[in-house]
Structure 1
Amino acid sequence: MSSLYNFPKAATFGRMLAKSKIYDHATPSSKVKELFVKEVEKIIWSHKLSPATINLPASDGVHEIQIFTILLRTGELSQEVLHTIDKAIPSPILFELKYGGKIKYAASYKQPSEADKSKWVLSSYFLSDWVKEDGPSTELPVVLNMGTLYQSLLTSISPLPFRQGEKLDDLVSRVDLLRVKEREAEKVESRIKKEKQFNRRVELNRTLNALKQEIEQLRK
Structure 2
Amino acid sequence: MTLFAWPKKAAFERVVPKSKIYEYGAVGGALKERFVQQVEQITWAYKLAPETLNLPATKTVTEIQVFRVALKGAELDRGVLKAIDRAIPFPLIFELIQGTRIKVAAAYKQSSRSQKGEDDSSRWRIGNYFETCWLPEHTTRQPLPVALDMSSLYEQLLGPLVQNGITRVKEQSSVAEARESPAAIYSVTATSEQPARVTLEQRIELAEAMAAQLKEIEQVKARLGREKQFNKRVAINAELRGAKQKLITLEEERDQNGR
Counterpart Cα distance in 2 of 1:59 and 1:151:
13
Give the TM-score of the pair, scaled to structure 1.
0.92
Indicate if the aligned counterparts of 2:55 and 2:149 stay in contact, CA closer than 8 A: yes
Greater mean deviation of Cα atoms: 128-137 or 146-155:
128-137
Match of 1:153 in 2: 157
Indicate if the aligned counterparts of 1:123 and 1:176 stay in contact, CA closer than 8 A: no
Matched, 1:37 2:41: no
Indicate if the aligned counterparts of 2:26 and 2:86 stay in contact, CA closer than 8 A: no
Match of 1:212 in 2: 244
User: Shift of residue 115 of structure 1?
Assistant: 6.0
Matched, 1:195 2:224: no
| Rg larger for | 2
Relative to structure 1, the CA distance from residue 20 to residue 187 in structure 2 (aligned partners, 3 Å threshold; closer, same or farther) is: same
Counterpart Cα distance in 1 of 2:123 and 2:42:
23
Indicate if the aligned counterparts of 1:109 and 1:124 stay in contact, CA closer than 8 A: yes
User: Shift of residue 107 of structure 1?
Assistant: 0.6
User: Shift of residue 37 of structure 1?
Assistant: 1.6
Indicate if the aligned counterparts of 1:66 and 1:94 stay in contact, CA closer than 8 A: yes
Matches within 5 A, 1:147-186: 147-158=151-162, 159-160=165-166, 162=194, 165-186=197-218
Counterpart Cα distance in 2 of 1:157 and 1:188:
28
Letter in 1 for 2:216: E
Count of residues paired in the alignment:
219
Match of 1:50 in 2: 49
Match of 2:144 in 1: 140
Relative to structure 1, the CA distance from residue 187 to residue 83 in structure 2 (aligned partners, 3 Å threshold; closer, same or farther) is: same
Letter in 2 for 1:83: K
Matches within 5 A, 1:72-87: 72-87=71-86
Relative to structure 1, the CA distance from residue 99 to residue 58 in structure 2 (aligned partners, 3 Å threshold; closer, same or farther) is: same
User: Shift of residue 146 of structure 1?
Assistant: 0.4
User: Shift of residue 54 of structure 1?
Assistant: 1.0
Indicate if the aligned counterparts of 2:106 and 2:131 stay in contact, CA closer than 8 A: yes
What are structure 2's unaligned runs of at least 5 residues?
Answer: 116-120, 167-191, 255-259
Greater mean deviation of Cα atoms: 163-172 or 70-79:
163-172
Relative to structure 1, the CA distance from residue 179 to residue 28 in structure 2 (aligned partners, 3 Å threshold; closer, same or farther) is: farther
Indicate if the aligned counterparts of 2:13 and 2:45 stay in contact, CA closer than 8 A: yes
What are structure 1's unaligned runs of at least 5 residues?
Answer: none
Give the TM-score of the pair, scaled to structure 2.
0.79
Aligned identity (percent) is 40
Per-residue deviation, residues 105-144 of structure 1 (Å, max 9, x unmatched):
1111100126684211111111112211112110111110
User: Shift of residue 213 of structure 1?
Assistant: 2.7
Could you say what secondary structure the match of 1:187 adopts?
helix
Per-residue deviation, residues 162-182 of structure 1 (Å, max 9, x unmatched):
467211111112222223223
